[in-house]
Amino acid sequence: MRKVCSLHANYTISSSLPPLNYFKLLKRIATCLFGTVLTLGAASSPDISAQDNTGGGHDRRDDHRGIAGSHEQTNYTYTKKAFPVLSLDYHHIQVPFEISLWVLLASLMKLGFHLIPRLSGIVPESCLLIVVGLLVGGLIKLAGEEVPPVLDSNLFFLCLLPPIILDAGYFLPIRPFMENIGTILMFAVVGTLWNAFFVGGLLYAVCQIEGTYLSQVELLPCLLFGSIISAVDPVAVLAVFEEIHINELLHILVFGESLLNDAVTVVLYHLFEEYSGAGEVTPMDVVLGVICFLIVSLGGIAVGAIYGILAAFTSRFTSHTRVIEPLFVFVYSYMAYLSAEMFHLSGIMALIACGAVMRPYVEANISHKSHTTVKYFLKMWSSVSETLIFIFLGVATVAGPHAWNWTFVSVTVILCLVSRVIGVVGLTFIINKFRIVKLTTKDQFIVAYGGLRGAIAFSLGYLLNKDHFPMRTMFLTAIITEIFFTVFVQGMTIKPLVDLLAVKKKQEAKRSINEEIHTQFLDHLLTGIEDICGHYGHHHWKDKLNRFNKKYIKKCLIAGERYKEPQLIAFYHKMEFKQAIELVESGGGVKLPSAMPSQVSMQNIQPKKLPPAVAERALPQFTKGREEEIRKILRSNLQKTRQRLRSYNRHTLVADPFEDGWNDFLLKKQRMIELEKKMSNYLTVPAAPPDSPTMCRARLASDPNAFYNIKASSEGVPTIQVDLASPQSPDSVNMLNEFSKRGAKDQGLGQREVATRDEDQGLMMKPSSAGKEEKGEEEGGNKNPGLMRCLSDPGPSNEDEEDEPFLP
Amino acid sequence: MGALQSLSDEPEYRELAEKTGFSFEQIGILHKRFKQLSHNEDMLRRADLDTIPDLACNPIRTQIIEAFFDKRNFHQNGDGTVEEISFEEFLVVMSHFRPPALNMTEEQREKVRREKLRFLFNMHDTDNDGTITLEEYRHVVEELLSRSGALGKETAKGIADAAMLEVASISMGHMEPDEFYEGITFEHFLKILKDIEIETKMNIRFLNMDTTTLCK
């Protein structure tokens, strides 16, 4: 970048070319902002952060135009060469190209590991990736090139770490986290402090021993080193624990600790870094340090919470622009991280707080697709980040520089282990006095053994200033050795040890509705008992918080009528939705989904009030004629093939009637009661009949031959209609017309309600109007074609009947 | 705290401690609370529990109060309900919420789990016929959702039905179309809830109760 800057200084780009002026301005701004961050510009390394690419790209483009322009200006007499038909210009795209190459390498490695079945069972992925990094670094070195300093601290902290932490924070299981928060905080704060001082202090003592040639290492740098190396690393913990499927309690303990110790690490690091220049730390500094800790942690959480609430509030209004909903989640979280880092607060805690705070509200507001998008993007980014981090660790190891000192390194490794074990055992002894469910020895062992170090320690070491810390290279070597030891030795052996010790594993069972009902029931029961005892325990406060949340916060942050939906109902809807999708994916219901292997149906649990002969046909109340009509219409639908969307608009997703309708679908049951009474036969429950997949599955279970009958009649069930091949475009048009009508028809009931009511009528009352719909009337189209479109890909179209535009 | 000095002398406390497993301090504190609730009488009535203001916003308030007066929870093999309870019975009901001891064998843990789940079962099985019928289960879910107005009613039925279906399918496997699933027996109840590890969840901390913070 410095080279480019100097080039620009030499050009006199005349002002008669206005576009170049603009570029010049842009160049200046870009170089001012990013010049400090970029290290090697035109040369080799891909360590320029992603943000700078655009700046860099611009600059290079400007560069060229600048060069071209000035050439034209100053050199009119250049000889005419042959027009270059094909030219190679690597420098132009070098930086993004190299970044993409690294990412591609990382992803291919990840792919490769899973293709070798036994390897991934024995060796955790993180180890393999480090080895790959070592190989790549070795290759680069063999090729004679200088190994690029890829694990640059800025790159790491600003680009590679946030996705992983956001993924962890957004999907943090809040309940177990909050239940164990005391334990987690104890381990994170007190445990890390203990580790830092124990390791740092003893290292200093060892350094003072004669004969180790280490006497120039003073106390404060030792303590600094101790604080860097004592923090359990979330990336490494995630990578290893993910594969061992340990039970939820232990997972959340170690993982929560690794997240929350960031604040301690930040404070200790800055404290010792500041004062190792001065050489001593006064008690005043210690007090300031404590205050700093409180500010760093609470400030970080506050920043995160503010951005989280902002994100939740923004998501309330995104019902018209569903495509960019995921973007809000990502951008607000990233800004929370950056804002916290700006003030030297704990960025990790900010990110966790942001994700955890915004999640319940955002999920209630955003569309199902956006939710899936958020989930998959987060998983994708965090996965790639993690892979890259481990590979870069390997490369950085090869890159060096190293200063190996047997004493220092071995003492570090041993001390880390010892201090971790002592810390965990000691703390558990104290903690168990306050816990209801005590931690057993096995648990303690896993917690101690699972304290892995990772790339954060390395990056913090890398950040150290060479001048202030002459023994920086020795520190880095020791850090890398420690990381290797924990990741390789502990990472590889933890799985067999878990099996050997028969530690409880994660329950793989799906959460059933009974469990959910009873969890809620238990919450209320315990709160009630606490009230009877007169004891303001944490159930009481939790209940109070929930009520406050429901009463005030949800109203502000959740759009529409959704905020009133209690958790149990939301869970139930989610479950039904999931089962509906399963039903669809299993081929439309002929083959029963595996969730219900048994053949128990609704009628088995209903008290027998009607004669059992009803099992024969699904809906005997339909007259023959009506059934025939319905069947004819559906058959004609089956003959039409799917149609591709006519005109594709980048800015609007296909309107998502499935989930908009679905969610309110169930809310409208009251209005459909009379209709349903006619439609349902043996089901005495008026609420649920043809709608919920449980009922439909039940019907299927009772009579698989009645499949087509059921399809004919249960138009209300979105899932079963998949076999009706095409979402006809007139219906689709109707769908969208209807949705565009919505805006106009806002009667203050909420748009979804209007649409659904139309849909209801279309569904229930006028199946024969399906014929009319072909003429493109806005009759309140059949919901189901829209659903099918959402649920399945529209294939290429063979027919050209409808030439109406998709989007009117 | 002065009142606690004489506690270990009282022989009745010793008996109660043996019976319920509480420590003397816990019994003392609970006794104080009992006296406070019953206005220093010996017997506690439903009306006394109704007056606790914090309970007012609890959706399953009635069931909780009923549980205290349910003879099945007194470990005396009786059934039916009573109108008023003594301190001993109060304590026995409370003992269902004691946390399990640290070092328990698998059988002891199983026993504790059964006991706690039995308590829950009794709360649901209001007519005391040994099974939770669909109606009773519906009632449970309705109460849970009783705060959500009309919306809750209909969905509650759907939820209860789905839950019942789940229990039936897990417990019974395959059923003929004309068989009828009577209701959830205690064994089925145990089966479906065995995964939530109730012995770790259904607990209250009984110490650290400062009498000054006791609500009226």
ipTM of the shown complex: 0.89
Are B151 and A565 inside 8 Å of each other by CB?
A: yes
Among residues B181, B133, B153, which one has the least CA distance to residue A603?
Answer: B181
Give residue A669's pLDDT band: very low, low, confident or very high (50, 70, 90).
low
The answer to whether A736 touches A807, Cβ cutoff 8 Å, is: yes
Dihedral (Cα; B203, B208, B211, B212), 10-degree rounding: -120
Among residues A727, A699, A715, which one has the least CA distance to residue A790?
Answer: A727
Q: Which residues of B touch A612 (CB under 8 A)?
A: 177-178
Nearest to B158 among A537, A604, A685 (CB): A685
CB pairs under 8 A between A and B: 208
Q: Which residues of B touch A533 (CB under 8 A)?
A: 30, 33, 94, 204, 206, 209
Tell me how many degrees the CA angle B98-B102-B105 measures, rounded to the nearest 5.
100
Give residue A672's pLDDT band: very low, low, confident or very high (50, 70, 90).
low
Are B213 and A517 inside 8 Å of each other by CB?
A: no
User: Which of B57, B144, B157, B208 should one mutate to test binding to chain A, selecting the residue with the greatest count of A CBs within 10 A?
Assistant: B144
Burial (CB count <10 Å: 0-12, 13-18, 19+), residue B11: exposed
The answer to whether A264 touches A293, Cβ cutoff 8 Å, is: yes
pLDDT of residue A438: 80
User: Which of A504, A526, A533, A616 should one mutate to test binding to chain B, selecting the residue with the greatest count of B CBs within 10 A?
Assistant: A533
User: Tokens for A538?
Assistant: 């944490």
Residues 414-433 of A with CB under 8 A from B: 432
Are B152 and A566 inside 8 Å of each other by CB?
A: yes
H-state helical runs in B145-203: 150-172, 186-192, 198-201
* Smallest Cα distance from B177 to chain A, Å: 6
Chain B: residue whose CA lies nearest to A701: B177
Our measurement of the distance from residue A603's CA atom to the centroid of its chain's CA atoms, rounded to an integer in Å, reads: 42
Rounded-to-integer distance, Cα A720 and Cα A700, Å: 11
Burial (CB count <10 Å: 0-12, 13-18, 19+), residue A15: exposed
Query: What would the DSSP string read from start to end of A216-277?
Result: T--HHHHHHHHHHHTSPPHHHHHHHHHHHTB-HHHHHHHHHHHHHHHHHHHHHHHHHHHHHH
Are A598 and B173 inside 8 Å of each other by CB?
A: yes
Comparing A417 with A245, which gets the higher pLDDT? A417
Are B165 and A605 inside 8 Å of each other by CB?
A: yes
Q: Which residues of A touch B155 (CB under 8 A)?
A: 569, 572, 666, 669, 687
The answer to whether A390 touches A133, Cβ cutoff 8 Å, is: yes
Tens-digit pLDDT profile for residues A742-781:
434 443 333 344 333 443 433 333 333 333 333 333 333 3
Tell me how many degrees the CA angle B88-B89-B90 measures, rounded to the nearest 5.
90
In this predicted structure, the answer to whether residue A335 has a pLDDT above a threshold of 90 is: yes
The answer to whether A44 touches A83, Cβ cutoff 8 Å, is: no
Task: Measure Cα distances from A690 to A213, A717, B161, B168 in Å.
Answer: 82, 7, 14, 21
Comparing B121 with B99, which gets the higher pLDDT? B121
* Smallest Cα distance from A594 to chain B, Å: 12
Are A600 and B178 inside 8 Å of each other by CB?
A: no
Rounded-to-integer distance, Cα A362 and Cα A318, Å: 10
3-state helix, strand, coil in chain B (%, to 5): 65, 5, 30
> CB distance from A610 to chain B under 8 Å?
no
pLDDT of residue B208: 52
Rounded-to-integer distance, Cα A295 and Cα A776, Å: 63
* Smallest Cα distance from B100 to chain A, Å: 8
CB atoms within 10 A of CB A599: 19
Nearest to A566 among B57, B94, B145 (CB): B145
> CB distance from A688 to chain B under 8 Å?
yes
Are B134 and A599 inside 8 Å of each other by CB?
A: no
The contacts found for B111-114 with CB under 8 angstroms, 24 or more apart, are B112/B199, B113/B190, B113/B194, B113/B197, B113/B198, B113/B199, B114/B190
Dihedral (Cα; A209, A214, A219, A220), 10-degree rounding: -170
pLDDT of residue A593: 41
Strands B131-132 and B84-85: unpaired
Say how many Å lie between the first and final Cα of chain B, rounded: 19
Comparing A655 with A433, which gets the higher pLDDT? A433
Are B174 and A702 inside 8 Å of each other by CB?
A: no
Chain B: residue whose CA lies nearest to A539: B204
User: Which of A180, A431, A605 should one mutate to test binding to chain B, selecting the residue with the greatest count of B CBs within 10 A?
Assistant: A605
What's the DSSP call for residue B146?
G
Rounded-to-integer distance, Cα A538 and Cα B89, Å: 26
Q: Which residues of A touch B99 (CB under 8 A)?
A: 436-437
In this predicted structure, the answer to whether residue A337 has a pLDDT above a threshold of 90 is: yes
User: Tokens for A226?
Assistant: 């101790």
- Tell the residue number behind the tokens 């170090």, with chain if given: A453
Chain A: residue whose CA lies nearest to B95: A529
User: Tokens for A184?
Assistant: 């987690």
Rounded-to-integer distance, Cα A757 and Cα A185, Å: 51
Q: Which residues of A touch B165 (CB under 8 A)?
A: 600-602, 605, 694, 698
- Helix H or strand E encompassing A636: helix A624-639
User: Tokens for A569?
Assistant: 């109902």
Q: Which residues of B touch A600 (CB under 8 A)?
A: 165, 168-169, 172-175, 181
> CB distance from A119 to chain B under 8 Å?
no
* Smallest Cα distance from A514 to chain B, Å: 6
Among residues A533, A542, A179, which one has the least CA distance to residue B97?
Answer: A533
pLDDT of residue A210: 65
Give residue A257's pLDDT band: very low, low, confident or very high (50, 70, 90).
very high
DSSP-derived 3-state class of residue A180: coil
Are A528 and B215 inside 8 Å of each other by CB?
A: no
Dihedral (Cα; A581, A586, A587, A593), 10-degree rounding: -100
Our measurement of the distance from residue A365's CA atom to the centroid of its chain's CA atoms, rounded to an integer in Å, reads: 17
pTM of the model: 0.67
Q: Which residues of A touch B192 (CB under 8 A)?
A: 512, 514-515
Sign of CA dihedral A496, A499, A504, A509: positive
Give residue B117's pLDDT band: very low, low, confident or very high (50, 70, 90).
confident
User: Tokens for A649?
Assistant: 């608009």
In this predicted structure, the answer to whether residue A64 has a pLDDT above a threshold of 60 is: no
Task: Measure Cα distances from A600 to A1, A572, A732 in Å.
Answer: 71, 19, 37
Nearest to B209 among A507, A534, A539 (CB): A534
Among residues A410, A384, A58, which one has the least CA distance to residue A212?
Answer: A410
Rounded-to-integer distance, Cα B42 and Cα B21, Å: 22
Residues 542-601 of A with CB under 8 A from B: 547, 564-566, 568-569, 572, 575-576, 596-601
Rounded-to-integer distance, Cα A641 and Cα A631, Å: 18
Strands B44-45 and B131-132: unpaired
Instruction: Please state, for a pLDDT cut of 70, what percent of chain B lies above it.
Output: 83
Are B151 and A569 inside 8 Å of each other by CB?
A: yes
pLDDT of residue A789: 41
DSSP-derived 3-state class of residue B173: coil
Chain A: residue whose CA lies nearest to B31: A533
Among A176-180, A413-417, B25-29, which is the least confidently predicted range?
A: B25-29
In this predicted structure, the answer to whether residue B131 has a pLDDT above a threshold of 70 is: yes
pLDDT of residue A26: 44
The residue type at A576: E
Are A685 and B214 inside 8 Å of each other by CB?
A: no
Are B206 and A533 inside 8 Å of each other by CB?
A: yes
pLDDT of residue B197: 75
* Smallest Cα distance from B143 to chain A, Å: 10
> CB distance from A530 to chain B under 8 Å?
yes
Q: Which residues of B touch A675 (CB under 8 A)?
A: none
Tens-digit pLDDT profile for residues A774-799:
333 333 334 444 444 444 444 444 44
* Smallest Cα distance from A309 to chain B, Å: 25
Are A688 and B157 inside 8 Å of each other by CB?
A: yes
* Smallest Cα distance from B203 to chain A, Å: 8
pLDDT of residue A164: 92
Comparing A230 with A640, which gets the higher pLDDT? A230
Q: Which residues of B touch A674 (CB under 8 A)?
A: none
Tens-digit pLDDT profile for residues A352-376:
999 999 888 888 888 888 889 999 9
Q: Which residues of B touch A518 (CB under 8 A)?
A: 120, 193, 196
ω into A727 cis (within 30 of 0): no
In this predicted structure, the answer to whether residue A350 has a pLDDT above a threshold of 90 is: yes
Give residue A8's pLDDT band: very low, low, confident or very high (50, 70, 90).
very low
Rounded-to-integer distance, Cα A218 and Cα A201, Å: 10
The answer to whether A255 touches A241, Cβ cutoff 8 Å, is: yes
* Smallest Cα distance from A520 to chain B, Å: 8
Nearest to B177 among A564, A601, A669 (CB): A601
pLDDT of residue A427: 92
Rounded-to-integer distance, Cα B154 and Cα A667, Å: 9
Strands B84-85 and B44-45: antiparallel
Our measurement of the distance from residue A136's CA atom to the centroid of its chain's CA atoms, rounded to an integer in Å, reads: 29
Are A687 and B154 inside 8 Å of each other by CB?
A: yes
Rounded-to-integer distance, Cα B90 and Cα B73, Å: 10
